[in-house]
């Protein structure tokens, strides 16, 4: 289709773009492939933002339906995945807004904190600290810890470090500047590290490691 602008000298088309082209051409089954490729990521992002399982389920449906409706607006020069993530982030924020009966919800909420800019707990971790917990316990620790971060930090960490978007893609997706993403990422990483130290510190050190 004519909306795809091939970059001069670059003939290789990303498999996602080829799938989008097929959907635009009327092949709905190609969309099936795209949904299966990215549904887990969209669900994860929605869970991180809404912190609510039912909302996350709704977001998965709404985001993929919206992406399908807006497929004509997708420009082949950006990645389908980052385009989809942007829709998923917006749908997640809309869900939160609905739950809070129309109160404005933004990704800038609660970030006015100085916590985490200076590491305070400098205890080293046990080697392979995950081994001290079962998979279920570990998942619970990781969930609880990341849920405690301000939303504006959490989203940046998830997109950048968990979902593997670049700093520039994260900035574009969230409508933030690159320096803002960098600053939030550093603070998110340091805060998570600090909070995980409670669980993962060497047990022979001082302090109160949470026991199994």
Residue 28 in contact with other proteins, rule: CB under 8 A: yes
Instruction: Give the residue, chosen from 57, 82, 94, 198, that forms a contact with other proteins under the rule CB under 8 A.
Output: 57
Between 36 and 103, CB nearer to other proteins: 36
Between 42 and 102, CB nearer to other proteins: 42
Q: Which long-range contacts (CB under 8 A, 24 or more apart) does 25-31 make?
A: 25/1, 31/68
Contact criterion met (CB below 8 Å) for 155 and 48: yes
Instruction: Give the residue, chosen from 6, 27, 65, 134, that forms a contact with other proteins under the rule CB under 8 A.
Output: 65
Please state the separation of Cα 62 from the chain's center in Å: 17
Between 100 and 144, CB nearer to other proteins: 144
**Residues in binding contact with other proteins, number by CB under 8 A:** 47
| Residue 81, token pair as written in the block | 């995945």
Residue 47 in contact with other proteins, rule: CB under 8 A: yes
How are the residues of the chain apportioned to helix, strand and coil, as percentages rounded to the nearest 5? 60, 0, 35
Q: Which DSSP category does 162 fall into? A: I
Residue 142 in contact with other proteins, rule: CB under 8 A: yes
Residue 133 in contact with other proteins, rule: CB under 8 A: no
Between 18 and 139, CB nearer to other proteins: 139
Between 6 and 70, CB nearer to other proteins: 70
Residue 130 in contact with other proteins, rule: CB under 8 A: yes
Bridge partners, residue 201, by sequence:
125
What gap in Å lies between CA 76 and CA 134, rounded to an integer?
Answer: 44
Residue 137 in contact with other proteins, rule: CB under 8 A: no
The HSE-up count of residue 202 (CA atoms within 13 Å, CB side) is 8
Q: By C-alpha distance, which of 81, 82, 86, 63 is closest to 19?
A: 81
Q: By C-alpha distance, which of 104, 85, 109 is closest to 94?
A: 104
- The residue ranges that bind other proteins (CB under 8 A) are 28, 31-32, 35-36, 39-40, 43-44, 47-48, 56-57, 60-61, 64-65, 68-69, 117-119, 122-125, 129-130, 135, 138-139, 142-143, 146, 157, 161-162, 182, 185-186, 189-190, 192-193, 196-197, 200
């Amino acid at each position: 289709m004519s909306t795809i602008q091939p970059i001069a000298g670059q003939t290789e088309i990303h498999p996602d773009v080829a799938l989008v082209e097929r959907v635009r051409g009327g092949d709905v089954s190609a969309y099936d492939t795209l949904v299966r490729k990215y549904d887990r990521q969209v669900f994860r992002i929605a869970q991180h933002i809404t912190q609510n399982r039912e909302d996350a389920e709704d977001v998965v449906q709404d985001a993929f339906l919206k992406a399908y409706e807006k497929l004509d607006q997708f420009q082949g020069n950006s990645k389908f995945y980052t385009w989809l993530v942007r829709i998923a982030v917006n749908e997640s924020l809309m869900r939160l807004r609905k739950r809070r009966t129309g109160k404005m919800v933004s990704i800038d909420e609660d970030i006015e904190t100085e916590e985490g800019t200076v590491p305070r707990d400098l205890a080293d971790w046990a080697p392979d600290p995950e081994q001290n917990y079962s998979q279920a316990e570990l998942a619970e620790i990781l969930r609880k810890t990341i849920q405690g971060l301000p939303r504006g930090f959490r989203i940046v960490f998830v997109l950048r470090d968990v979902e593997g978007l670049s700093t520039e893609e994260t900035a574009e997706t969230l409508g933030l500047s690159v320096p803002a993403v960098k600053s939030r990422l550093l603070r998110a990483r340091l805060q998570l590290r600090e909070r995980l130290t409670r669980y993962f510190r060497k047990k022979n050190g001082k302090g109160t490691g949470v026991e199994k």
